[in-house]
Structure 1
Amino acid sequence: MNRTNEVVMGAQDPMRNILLNVDSYKASHAFQYPPETRYVYSYIESRGGKWDRTVFFGLQMFLKEYLCTPITREMIDEAENFWRAHGEPFYRAGWDHILQEYDGYLPVEIKAAPEGEIIPTGNVLLTIVNTDPECYWLTSALETALLRAVWYPTTVATNSWHCKQIILQYLDLTSDDREQVAFKLHDFGARGVSSLESAAIGGVAHLVNFSGTDTVSGVLAARTYYNEDMAGFSIPAAEHSTMTAWGRDGEAAAYRNMIHQFGGKGKLVAVVSDSYDLFNAVDKIWGEELRQEVIDSGATIVVRPDSGDPAVVPVQCVEHLGEKFGYSLNGRGYKVLAPCVRVIQGDGITIDTIGLILRNLADKGWAADNIAFGMGGGLLQQLNRDTLKFAMKCSAAQIGGQWVDVYKDPITDHAKHSKRGRLALVRENGKYVTVAADDAGDRDVLIPVYRNGKLLCDWTFAEIRERAGLFFETA
Structure 2
Amino acid sequence: MQNDYSGLSSFLSNPILNTDSYKASHFLQYPADASAMFSYVESRGGRYERTVFFGLQMLLKQYLCKPINDDMIDEAKAFFAVHGEPFNEAGWRYIVTQYGGYLPVRIRAVPEGSVVPTGNVLMTVECDDPQVFWLASYLETMLLRVWYPITVATQSWYVRQTIRRALEKSSDDMTQLPFKLHDFGARGVSSAESAAIGGAAHLVSFMGSDTVLGVMAANRYYREDMAAYSVPAAEHSTITSWGRAGEIDAYANMIRRFAKPGAIVAVVSDSYDLFAALEMWGTQLKQSVIDSGATLVIRPDSGDPQTIVMESLRRLDGFFGSTVNGKGRRVLNHVRVLQGDGVNPDTIEQILAAADQAGYAADNLVFGIGGALLQRVDRDTQRFAMKCSAIRLGDTWHDVVKDPVTDTGKRSKGGRLTLLRNARTGAYRTVAEPRRWEESMIEGEWEDAMHTVFDTGRLLVDTSLADVRVRAQTEES
Asked if residue 107 in structure 1 is aligned to residue 104 in structure 2, the reply is yes
Give the distance between the partners of 1:353 and 1:454, measured in 2 at CA.
Answer: 44
1:403 paired with 2:397, answer yes
Alignment partner of 1:224 is 2:220: yes
Are 1:175 and 1:330, in contact at CA under 8 Å, matched by a contact in 2? yes
Change in CA separation of 1:6 and 1:445 when aligned onto 2, cut-off 3 Å: closer
Counterpart Cα distance in 2 of 1:238 and 1:265: 19
Aligned counterparts of 1:191 and 1:333: Cα–Cα separation in 2: 40
Q: CA deviation at 1:3?
A: 5.5
What is the identity percentage for the equivalent residue pairs of Structure 1 and Structure 2? 56
Q: Distance in 1 between matches of 2:259 and 2:3?
A: 51
Say which of 280, 285, 289 aligns to 1:294.
289
1:451 maps to 2:455: yes
Listed one character per residue, the Cα deviations across residues 362-403 of structure 1 (whole Å, up to 9, x for unaligned) are 111111000000001111000000000000000000012211
**Paired letter, 2:161:** Q
Instruction: Describe the SS at the equivalent of 1:20.
Output: coil
Contact 2:337 2:366 in 1 (8 A): yes
Give the AA of the match of 2:342: G
**Superposition RMSD in Å:** 1.1
What runs of 5+ residues in structure 2 fail to find an aligned partner? 438-445
Query: Does the CA-based 8 Å contact 1:222-1:229 persist in structure 2?
Result: no
Q: Which structure features the higher share of helix residues?
A: 1
- The correspondence for 1:77, drawn from 59, 74, 78, is 74
Question: Of the candidates 30, 38, 45, which is equivalent to residue 48 of structure 1?
Answer: 45
User: What is aligned with 1:187?
Assistant: 183
1:35 matched residue in structure 2: 32
Q: Per-residue deviation at 1:335?
A: 0.8
Tell me the matched-pair count: 467
- Whole-angstrom CA distance in 1 between matches of 2:244 and 2:434: 72
> In 2, distance between residues paired with 1:131 and 1:106?
12
Equivalence for 1:116: 113
Moved runs in structure 1, 4+ residues, more than 6 A? none
Q: Find the counterpart in structure 1 of residue 7 from structure 2.
A: 7
Report the counterpart of residue 354 of structure 1 in structure 2: 348
Deviation at 1:131? Answer: 3.4
- Residue aligning to 1:465: 469
CA contact (8 A) 2:35 2:128 kept: no
2:128 corresponds in structure 1 to: 131
Q: Return the alpha-carbon distance in structure 1 between the equivalents of residues 209 and 7 of structure 2.
A: 34
Shift of 1:440: 3.5
Q: SS of the counterpart of 1:119?
A: strand
Give the drift of 1:2.
4.7
Q: Which amino acid aligns with 2:257?
A: Q
State the partner residue of 1:383: 377
309, 313, 320: which one aligns with 1:325:
320
In structure 1, give the amino acid aligned to 2:292: S
Question: Is the 2:37–2:128 contact (alpha carbons within 8 Å) kept by the matching residues of 1?
Answer: no
TM-score (norm 1): 0.97
Deviation of 1:23 after TM superposition, in Å, equals: 0.8
Q: Are residues 1:315 and 2:310 paired? A: yes
Q: C-alpha deviations, 1:57-82, integer Å up to 9, x for none?
A: 00001111110100000000110000
AA of the residue aligned to 2:133: Y
Question: Any residues of structure 2 matched to 1:406-445 within 5 Å, and which?
Answer: 406-428=400-422, 429-441=425-437, 443-445=447-449
1:19 is paired with a residue of what secondary structure?
A: coil
Q: Structure 1: any 5+ residue segments left out of the alignment? A: none
Q: TM-score by structure 2 length?
A: 0.96
By how many angstroms is 1:14 displaced? 1.3
